[in-house]
């Protein structure tokens, strides 16, 4: 006997794998049944939860909430919380609708222009070749002055120090790339 071959690409996927194939009434019935059976499952666990509560001394909750009717202020407070959450959610929905109507059909976002190495070097006050060496280095140690400008940079690489136009190695295996930003 031959082994069965895989199905062709025209086979319809199962609804459980593609819930978007369900109609709206099917999705609503599915959600309602799921909610009902979760509630039933939790209801079936209530005796165990009550037993554990009494075993750990939570009978005070029953006294406060049931006998002294402490659930009434709790229900009122939860109502106020629900109102606040509803108002916040409503304001966000209104803001989203406002923006949808305001910007419909108009794309105002643009890509940022590319920044060239020369522009970055000019902003940092260094030579573009030096900046390229910094970009290739694996580790940089940058010292800044009180005014925020770069005073010195040491480039470290894993195997060997990065070559730099300025001379001067120290004992840590770093190359001094720039001593004075005005000199670059």
pLDDT digits (tens, 9 = 90+) for 57-77: 777 777 777 778 777 887 888
**Helix (DSSP H) and strand (DSSP E) numbers for the chain:** 5, 3
Share of the chain above pLDDT 70, in %: 78
pLDDT of res. 167: 37
- Of 48-57, 62-71, 168-177, minimum mean pLDDT range: 168-177
- Average pLDDT on 126-139 reads 89
Of the pLDDT bands very low, low, confident and very high (cuts 50, 70, 90), residue 97 is very high
Give the DSSP letter of residue 127. Answer: -
Q: Rounded to an integer, what distance in angstroms lies between the CA atom of residue 72 and that of residue 68?
A: 10
Is the confidence at residue 92, as pLDDT, over 70?
A: yes
What are the beta bridge partners of residue 141? 154
Structure tokens at 42: 């939790």
pTM, whole model, 2 decimals?
Answer: 0.33
Structure tokens at 179: 């001593």
Cβ atoms < 10 Å from Cβ of 140: 15
Is the confidence at residue 123, as pLDDT, over 60?
A: yes
When comparing pLDDT for 76 and 51, which is higher? 76
* C-alpha 108 chain-centroid distance: 24
When comparing pLDDT for 168 and 117, which is higher? 117
Cβ atoms < 10 Å from Cβ of 121: 18
H-state helical runs in the chain: 24-55, 59-62, 71-103, 117-124, 128-136
């Amino acid at each position: 006997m031959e082994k069965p071959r895989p199905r062709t690409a025209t086979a319809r996927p199962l609804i459980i794998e593609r819930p978007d194939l369900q109609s709206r009434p099917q999705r609503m019935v599915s959600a309602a049944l799921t909610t009902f059976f979760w509630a039933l499952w939790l209801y079936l666990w209530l005796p165990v939860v009550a037993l554990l509560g009494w075993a750990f001394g939570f009978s005070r909750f029953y006294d406060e909430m049931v006998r002294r009717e402490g659930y009434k202020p709790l229900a009122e407070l939860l109502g106020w919380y629900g109102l606040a959450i509803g108002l916040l959610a409503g304001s966000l929905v209104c803001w989203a609708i406002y923006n949808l109507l305001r910007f419909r059909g108009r794309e105002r976002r643009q890509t940022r222009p590319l920044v060239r190495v020369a522009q970055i070097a000019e902003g940092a006050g260094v030579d573009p070749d030096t900046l390229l060496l910094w970009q290739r280095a694996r580790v940089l140690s940058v010292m800044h002055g009180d005014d925020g400008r770069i005073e010195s940079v040491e480039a470290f690489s894993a195997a060997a120090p990065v070559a730099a136009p300025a001379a001067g190695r120290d004992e840590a295996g770093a190359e001094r790339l720039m001593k004075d930003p005005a000199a670059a």
